[in-house]
Structures are given as C-alpha cells and as structure tokens.
Amino acid sequence: MKTLIIAEKPDMGRNIAAAIDPKAKNHRSYLEGEHYIITWAIGHLIGLAEPDAYDDKYKKWNINDLPIIPTQFKLVPNKKTIDQLKVIGDLAKRSNLLVNSCDAGREGQYIFSLIQRHLKLNQPVKRLWISDLTPETIRKGFDELKEGAEYENLTRAATARSEADWLIGMNGSRAFTTKHNVLLSVGRVQTPVLALIYDRQKQIEAFSSLKFFELEGHFAQSEMSYKGMWQGERATDQAKVEAIAAKVKGKEGRVASYEVKETKEYPFKLYDLTLLQREANGKYAFSAKKTLDTAQALYEKHKVISYPRTNSNYVTEQNIPEMHKTLNALQGTAYDDLVKGANRSLVHKGNKFICNPTKVEDHHAILPTNRKANGLSPDEQKLYDLIVRRFLSQFYPPAEYKVHTVLTEVENEHFKTTVKELLHLGWKVIYADQKKEKAKPSAKGKDKDDADEEEIEVSEPFSIVADEGIVCSDAIVKEKDTQPPKHYTEGTLLKAMESAGKQIEDEDVRDAMKDSGLGTPATRAATIERLKNVGYVEMQGKKILVTQKGRTAIELIRGAGIDLLTSPEMTGLWERRLNEISRGTASDGQFMENVKKFATMIVDKVRVQSRAAKTSFESEAPSAGRGASGKSAAATKTRAVKPKATGAARKSTSAAAASPGTITLITNCPSPGCGGSIFMGRKGYGCSHYKEGCKFVIWKESYGRSLTDSQVKSLVEKGKTTKLKLQLADGTPAEGRIVIRNLETGELSIEQ
C-alpha cells in the first residue's frame, strides 16, 4: 500500500512529485512512484446540492416552500470534473495513508474534506502545510507533516462558511425573486458589500459643493523664501479674504513661533493579499481578481513568491534566515544595485516591525522566494516587482527628515508653514525611480490622497531666524470647492471590506478588525467580480458605480426590514466567529443555528412585503452611444422575469442576475408635448415616455461634473444650474452655468 497525496491543482501536484519523488511515472491524471501516488483536485470537485436534491417540489421556486433548511447537507460532484474524482477514489483503494496537500488555508481544507466525505475515505490523514512551492520548502514540509486532526476546527469553519452562504443565498434569492417576479441575487457577503457601494454613491449624489477661499502668503527673510496658509476660519466671503490679502501684502511681519523636530519614516509593512491588491489597483489599475490570479501564478507556476492568500504583514522567526537567502539570490538580477546597498543586520528576529509571530496565523506575509524569476509575463513582472521592492525595503534604514513648523504673523494675521526637509533618503531609494511613490499608503496607514496641502517637502536645507523680521512679498487668494466623498475603487473597497466598512486609520485597531472583515483575503476578489457579473455594479475607469439593479436590490432588502442583511459590521462579526471556530474557541453548531434563524427571518419578512409594480423593474438608461453632441441613442431595458426551474435559475447566489427596482422621479419632462417624467438611469437622466419616442436625456457626467438629482431638477425646471466649476471638452477648466440647449433631446451647453 502506498501513500496517496492529494494536491489542489495539477501544477501543485507536479511540483510536489518533482521535489519528493522525481522518478514518479506520469499517468496523466496522477503520478506514481515507489512509495507515493500523487494526484490532485481541479479546484472544487464537489459542492453542496441544489434544493431539488432534497425534494422535487423545490424544482419550482415558490415562496410558500421557504425556508429550505436541510437537516444534513447533501454533496454532489461537479459534472465537469467527475472523472478526476473517480480517479482519486480508485487510487485511494490502493493507499493506506492520505496526505492533504491542498492549499494551506480554509478553502484548501474544505476542498479536501469534501472529497474525503463524498468518497467516504477512512484512511489516516496527514497535512502538508507550507507557504511556498520551492523544492526545499516542499521537502521540509514532508519531513514535518502534521496530523490531519490538528486542522479539524479549520474544517468545521470552512463547512460552516459554505453552508451559511447556501442558506442565506438560496432562501434570500428565492424569496425576493418569487415575491417580485424578477431574478434577484442576495448573499451573506455580497449584499453588505453592495450596501457599502450604494451608501457611498448616495452620499456623493446628495453632496452639495460649497465654494470657499484660501489665502496663501509668500514670505522672505534674507535669502530664504517660503509660503504659508492663512489660519483663519474657512472663508466663503471672497471680498473679506481679498481684503486681508491687500492688508498683508508688502507689509513687514514677524516669526510668531518656529519649531524644528527630526522625524523618521520606516519602510511600509510587508504585503498581505489585500494590501497587494489595493496597491496594484492604485498603481496599475489591476482588478482584485487580476491581482489574485497573477499572484497565484507567481506562486504556483513560477514559484517565485510565497503563498499569496495571506492576511498577515509579518513573518515568524523561521522566515528570517529564508529572507537572507532570498536577498542573496537576488544578486546578479535587475535588483543587484539595491541588494548591494542592503543592510542585512536590519532584518533579524528582534525587529518586531518585520518579525511578529503573534500576528501570523496560517501564513506569513508575501515574500519573494530564492528562485530566479524567468519568463514572467508583463503583468506578472509588475506584481513581482512590487513584492520584491517591498521586501528589499526592509533591509534599508528609515528615511530621515527635519520638520519645520513656522507660524508667521503679519498685521495680526497668522500664516502656518510646514516644511519637511529631507536629511537621508533611507529605504525610499528603493523607489527613487518611481515618481508616483507618494501615492502609496504611509507607514501609519493613511492615504496620501488626503495629504495636507500645507506640507512642503524639500531636499535642500531650510532654516529661518526666529528673531529676525520677514516681509510678505505676496498674498494670493485661491478659490476652492468642498469635495464630495470619493467613489469606491476596487482598492478602496478592499480596504473597506477588510475593516467591515469602518474607516479606521489606527493601524492596531485596523489589524484587530481583520478577523471581522467582509469575506477573507482569498474570497474578496470573487465577491467584487460577482457584483459585476450579476449587474449590480459597473466600472467607470477605476470607479465602481451602482447600477439601477444594485440600487433596487438594496432598497428592496431594506424596504422589507432586513437591514441586517445589508450590514457590513454584522457580516463582519460572522466572519470573526468563523475565525473563532477555526481556532476552536467558538461552536460551529451554535453559529449555524443563528444562521438558520436569520434565513427564516428573511423569508418571513419578504413574505409580507408588498410586491413592487412591474414597471418598477424596468430600467431605461441612456446608452454609451450618445455624447455631448446630443445625438440620440437607444435606451436599455431590464425586464421582469418569471422564475423557471432551469439549471441557471437554481444557482441562486452566484448566477442570479438582479434587476433594477423602484425608480425615483426627479421632475416632469420638459420636452414639448411629452408629459413624461424624468428619472435617473444607469448613466444619465431619461424620460419615462421613451417607449412613446421621447429622446430627452441628460448625461450624469457632463462638463467634468457628476450631476446630482437637485442640479438636474434645476436644469429641467429653470433651464440652467447655478454657477459651477466645469471642464470643457478639451479639458480646459471653466466656470459657468450648464444650460439646456435643446428641450427635445436634452443637449447641454455652457453659459459663461
């Protein structure tokens, strides 16, 4: 009898065979040597059965048959990969020991446990738990195989996660679909993530910009000149600010206070998956899924990085020697100069910024391995470069600065100046060839997007004499507008998912929230993709926008009184409980009882909800085929559909496409003789009489503005907006009112 090794994917199985049994004979779907048989799953070979596996009546979707709560969940093989499942079953009959070599994480554990349960495999189980696929690590992992029983709690958590998603998805999707006669998808994680995006977009649409004025003073003392911002309250009265400017311009003043302190900026933390996805999105516009897939290829195919599906930014003591080996392996590569400048003594077991075993659970931070990176695609090279540079930065000292804070007084008016004088570049030399490095998160986790404009960074020496006078050489009034919250990008959405929607700047608190985020590092990308696929969100450049479908889904759920289903924090707490189950500190049975009660409550609430009118599921959105010229294009429409017992319809959570819902009417259509109403579609404001031929459309994105409901109402009823800061077609800034040029088509122009 031989030992049967079950890997998660073919590449991983072949890597294992090459490391521990290189003479194993290749039988296409498995490899066999003297002591080992190595085979693999192909992702999920088995899943939870559809409702009709429990009772034929569930082939038809009927709200009176809900909730569906199985006493014991049934398993069903994936028809596309059933041959490989049979191979595993046959090989197991020739084996007296199993080695679970699936990915070292919750999903990998679940894939193996499903195979084991379905095939009723009773052999003893060992667990291979490794973080990279280099031959050395694989061999070491087999020398230190764990007992399978040590991971039983992780199996319980994985099973609870899957069954909880089934209960919420199946019951929620069927309840809303049958009640409103439109295929609607809801889910334990996807719905609160959609709610985050919906709520942010509503904030943006409700935002009313306020014009204000800043005063920038220019000062000179001997050969030194500097700028400072006026410290009065935010001013909306331009005349008042200009009067202050006239008062101080050309006048002598004094240095009211001058403080100098030295500060250090340490390297950014090593990557976990979410941070890598966020930065790849910000720098290269990679989607979360693209980053995950690319990182998986670097790990599995090229073996040049460690396991990417990690939620830790730290390493353990055992990783420190490996980090030094990797540094040596980077000699002679494109990073040779940076390796030569590295200080190896900075990376050691006592450096808690790098080595903190208490913050490493399943896997350490993402690291490059000591394998040479050859044959990478352009995208793989970009991601690998991010990981290598972050790794190398740990071997460099902090950047050092002198921060000068000056308070200048002229004519009893105060101006503040903050100058950050570079003393030593330190680790930032790693990024010296990358001009946009400032866009990265700071060491404290704050976004540079909101950097204080008053702070000026200089590389030349700066100093003034505190007891010498100054002259205000100029005073410039700057017009500004308050800005609405920013649309989510995939990068900022990942950050919100990680902290269950809480905008947490404190690094320690944010780390603590990682156990109660929305989904896991391994599943967040799939959740975002699902929202796109079911038509709830769409991309506009990097921005994530809620479609009319997405709006309706949230409004119907909240309208039914099931706000809990849209609560990021509540779902985050469920994720925390799953983590506690995996550690053995919480009961999976109690968790599932609570989920069953929640699924029942969803059905009860929807059952008494009023059915939305059929017209409320029709969405007319101006298509992208019409621009500022006012040329007409066909409207798009989403119809109400009657649920059928098709295979596609039964795949409730992931395959169900939602439909737009209740339409908010803005005002009456101004098109002569129309009589319709204006409402907001996906990309603009259209007329409800589109079927009768009305071609009136106002694009939401017009002249550099994202128009709000109130601005469109003003446009339609008064013919123009208030004075706004705009952008011409060639990108030139302008100021003026948007006016309707053509009442029949909604064509716009600017009145300056």
Which residues are known to be catalytic? 307
Number of other CB atoms surrounding residue 255 within 10 Å:
19
Q: Are 205 and 708 in contact (CB under 8 A)?
A: yes
Angle between helices 548-559 and 152-180 in degrees, nearest 10: 90
Which residues on adjacent β-strands are paired with residue 580? none
Closest CA to 616 of 679, 662, 666: 662
Distance between CA 420 and CA 477 in Å, rounded?
24
- 426: Cβ–Cβ under 8 A, 6 or more apart, which residues? 264, 265, 396, 397, 398, 399, 400
Distance between CA 571 and CA 84 in Å, rounded?
35
- 538: Cβ–Cβ under 8 A, 6 or more apart, which residues? 532, 544, 545, 547, 682
- 134: Cβ–Cβ under 8 A, 6 or more apart, which residues? 303, 369, 370, 371
Number of other CB atoms surrounding residue 532 within 10 Å:
15
Full DSSP string of 305-349: B--S----S-B-TTHHHHHHHHHHHTTTSTTHHHHHT--GGGSST
- 495: Cβ–Cβ under 8 A, 6 or more apart, which residues? 274, 278
Distance between CA 417 and CA 409 in Å, rounded?
11
Q: Are 472 and 410 in contact (CB under 8 A)?
A: yes
With vertex at residue 494, the alpha carbon angle to CA 108 and CA 170, rounded to the nearest 5 degrees, is 60
- Token pair, residue 184, equals 């609607």
DSSP 77: E
Consecutive H or E run containing 424: strand 413-424
Q: List the beta strands (DSSP E) in 129-230.
A: 146-147, 211-221, 224-230
Q: 246: number of CA atoms within 13 Å, CB side?
A: 6
Distance between CA 616 and CA 548 in Å, rounded?
10
Closest CA to 330 of 298, 370, 362, 361: 370
- 533: Cβ–Cβ under 8 A, 6 or more apart, which residues? 654, 657
Buried b (16+ CB within 10 A) or exposed e, 199-218: bbbeebbeeebeebbbbbbb
Question: Which region, left, alpha or beta, applies to residue 489 given φ > 0 means left and ψ of -120 to 50 means alpha?
Answer: beta
Closest CA to 633 of 702, 683, 703: 683
Distance between CA 631 and CA 585 in Å, rounded?
63
